Amino acid sequence: MTSSYPAYLLRRLGQFVLVVFIGINIVFFISHATPIDPVEQTVAAATQFGATSPEAIALMRQSLRELYGLEGGLWEQYAVFWQRIAVADFGPSLSAFPTPVSVLIRRAAPWTVGLWSIATLISWSLGNLLGGLAGYYPRSRALRAAGAVAMALHPIPYYIVGFVLLIVFGYVWPILPITGGYQINLERAFDLRFVASVFRHSLLPALSLILVGLGGWFLGMRSLVSNIVTEDYVVFAELGGVRPRRILASYVMRNALAPQVTGLAMSVSTIYTGVIIIEQVFGYPGLGSLLVYGVLAGDYSLVLGVASVSIIAVALAVLAIDLLYPLVDPRVKAR
C-alpha cells in the first residue's frame, strides 16, 4: 500500500498541472478573442480632455503595449503571458495605474481564501456530522427537523440566502455590518479590535455559504449512513455488543465519509463561484469583488490575473483534498 502512494501522488500532480495549463490557456485565448483593446482604451481615456501630438500618442501606445505584454503577434503575446505567470507578474493595472496587478491580488486573496476555507470547512464538517447522526438515529425529532431545514435550504442559490440575511440583519434587526471587510476607521493591525471587526463583517457572508452548503452535505451523509447501517458488518457489531458510539464513528461514519471527500473535491469550484457572488452581495474585499471591478472597468490585466490565480487556487484545493483522500480511504493507495 505504501509503495503505491508515490505513483498516486505523481498522477495527481500530473492532473493538477494539466488542469492549470488548460484553464489558464482558456482564459488567455478568450480574453484575446474579445474586441476590447486595453491599449486603445487607455489611450482614448488619456487624450479625451485635450489635443495630443501624434508622436506622443504613438509613444504612449508603444509603451502601453510593452507594459501589458501585447507586443508582436498572438503567439509572442502567449509566450510573454506564461513568462509573467512564472514570476507572478501580470503587469500594471489599467484602472489602478501604476499599481501592479499582483499587488492588488495579494491584498484581496487573504479575504477570499479565509472566507472560502472557513465556510467550506464548517459546512462540510457540520453537515456530515448532523447527517451521520440523522441517518443512524432516524427517529430523532430534532434531527428530522434539521433534515427538513436542510432540504429547504439546499436548492436555494447563495445570493438569495445572502440577500435575505442582509435584509434581516441589516435592516429588520440591524445588529451586524452588511458591507466591507472591517470597520472603516480602524487601522489594519493584528490586534483584538481589528480581528473582532473582521470577524463581525465576515459573519453574514460566511453564514450565507454555510447554510446553503450544509444542506447538501447533510442530505448526502444521511443517505449514505442509512444504507450502511443495514450492512452485515454493522449488524454483527450491534449483535456483538459494540457500543453505538464506536459503531457510528468507526464502522459507519468512516465508510460513509469517503464519498463525501470525493464530493468535496468535485464541488470546490462551485463553492468558489458562490464566494465570488457573496462577496459582491456584501461588498467583501476579496478576489470576487476585485474581478467584478476589473470587468466593469475594462481592466484587461486585472481580469487575466485574477482569473489565472483563481484557477490555480481551485486546482490546489482539489489537489490537497485528493492527497488527503487516502487517509480516509486507505484502499486508494492500492489502486
CATH number of the domain located at residue range(s) 101-329 in this protein: 1.10.3720.10
Q: Give, in degrees to the nearest 5, the angle at Cα 333 between 327 and 335.
A: 140
Domains of the chain: which residue ranges? 5-86, 101-329
DSSP letters, 77-144, are HHHHHHHHHHTT---B-STTTTSBHHHHHHHHHHHHHHHHHHHHHHHHHHHHHHHHHHHH-TT-HHHH
Range of lowest pLDDT (35-39, 83-87, 303-307, 309-313): 35-39
Q: What is the mean pLDDT of residues 200-218?
A: 87
pLDDT at 42: 67
Q: Give, in degrees to the nearest 5, the angle at Cα 278 between 209 and 93.
A: 135
Q: Which residue type sits at 99?
A: T
The more confident residue out of 100 and 46 is 100
By the 8 A CB rule, do 109 and 287 touch?
A: yes
Nearest residue to 114 (alpha-carbon basis) of 205, 213, 176, 177: 205
Mean pLDDT over each residue of the chain, to the nearest integer: 80
Q: Is the pLDDT of residue 332 over 60?
A: no
Range of lowest pLDDT (64-68, 246-250, 318-322): 64-68
Question: What pTM does this model have?
Answer: 0.77
Q: Is the pLDDT of residue 49 over 70?
A: no
Range of lowest pLDDT (165-174, 224-233, 266-275, 287-296): 266-275
pLDDT at 334: 45
Q: What is the DSSP letter of 206?
A: H
From CA 172, how far away is CA 232, in angstroms rounded?
Answer: 53
pLDDT at 74: 77
The more confident residue out of 1 and 70 is 70
